[in-house]
Amino acid sequence: MRLFAFLLLAIAAPLAQAGARAQLDAFSGGVQGLETTFEQRVYDPDRRMVELATGKVGLNKPRQFRWEVLQPYPQLIVADGDHVWIHDPDLEQVTVRKQAHEEQGSPLAVLIDPAELERQFKVAEGAEADGLAWLELQPRQAEDAPFERARLGFDAQGLAVMEMFDGLGQRTEVRFGRWQRNPAFAPGAFAFVPPPGTEVVGEQIRPAEVIPLGD
């Protein structure tokens, strides 16, 4: 029995000592898509919570993203590879813009494409805290980023916490549920069609004109 316990500890020790970057690489290996729930809290510079929201998030290679807030006010953000759609049902309004490659600037993009980590961020291993291994991220294109720095906290199940800090001292903390790897997404999960009667604000990419060739 003692030998069995010793073997378990010997196996677990290297995993516990693995850095956050190693945990990210292990988590993202073989991943084509991810899905989970989230709880997001926003704190003001005085550390008072000013916002609480819950919802679910999905990511799919190569450049698709779905962030759905369920409570307290519904909102849906969909990146379909060409456009980013932001739908506010209560306002009956959709904002749409072109999805430039840089718009993958959310740290979540590195979960399905770790190569984005070094391309988009200056990366440092943080000290372990709260039972998590941390990666510290600073955007390389600071003028275009919605935050000054971010932190990703990993446990044995993968990404557990994401924190983002802006220049005004505000902190956004997102805690994730258990991630589903390569889930069977519903058809159209990463597509968006504005509901009838919804105002659409923004610019869409025009499809290329195809002119049939003559005989």
For residue range 144-158, list pLDDT tens digits in order.
778 899 999 999 889
> What is the reported pLDDT for 179?
96
What is the SS3 assignment for 96-138? EEECCHHHHCCHHHHHCCCHHHHHHEEEEECCCECCEEEEEEE
Mean pLDDT on 171-188:
96
Count of domains observed in the chain = 1
Cα–Cα distances in Å, from 173 out to 42, 123, 145, 152, 177? 6, 19, 17, 10, 13
Which helix (H) or strand (E) covers residue 2, if one does? Answer: helix 2-17
Of 17-21, 51-55, 126-130, least confident by mean pLDDT is 17-21
Cα–Cα distances in Å, from 189 out to 41, 78, 100, 195, 209? 25, 9, 20, 15, 27
Mean pLDDT on 119-141:
90
Residues in the chain: 215
Contact call for residues 186 and 64 (beta carbons, < 8 A): no
> What is the reported pLDDT for 105?
62
CA–centroid distance for 80 within its chain = 14
**Residue 94 falls inside a structural domain:** yes
Q: Tell me how far apart the alpha carbons of residues 24 and 111 are, in angstroms, rounded to a whole number.
A: 7
Q: Residue 30: which CATH number?
A: 2.50.20.10
Domain that holds residue 102: 19-178
The answer to whether the predicted template modeling score (pTM) of the entire model surpasses 0.75 is yes
**Residue 106 falls inside a structural domain:** yes
> What is the reported pLDDT for 183?
96
Q: Tell me how far apart the alpha carbons of residues 141 and 130 are, in angstroms, rounded to a whole number.
A: 30
Q: Tell me how far apart the alpha carbons of residues 126 and 110 are, in angstroms, rounded to a whole number.
A: 17
Contact call for residues 11 and 4 (beta carbons, < 8 A): no
pLDDT digit string, tens, across residues 86-114? 999 999 999 999 887 555 567 888 888 88
Mean pLDDT on 172-197:
95
**Residue 62 falls inside a structural domain:** yes
Handedness of CA 164, 152, 76, 199 (dihedral sign): positive
Q: Tell me how far apart the alpha carbons of residues 55 and 76 are, in angstroms, rounded to a whole number.
A: 10
**Residue 29 falls inside a structural domain:** yes
**Residue 201 falls inside a structural domain:** no
Of 31-45, 109-123, 176-190, 197-211, least confident by mean pLDDT is 197-211
**Residue 132 falls inside a structural domain:** yes
pLDDT digit string, tens, across residues 21-62? 888 888 888 999 999 999 999 999 999 999 999 999 999 998
**Residue 183 falls inside a structural domain:** no
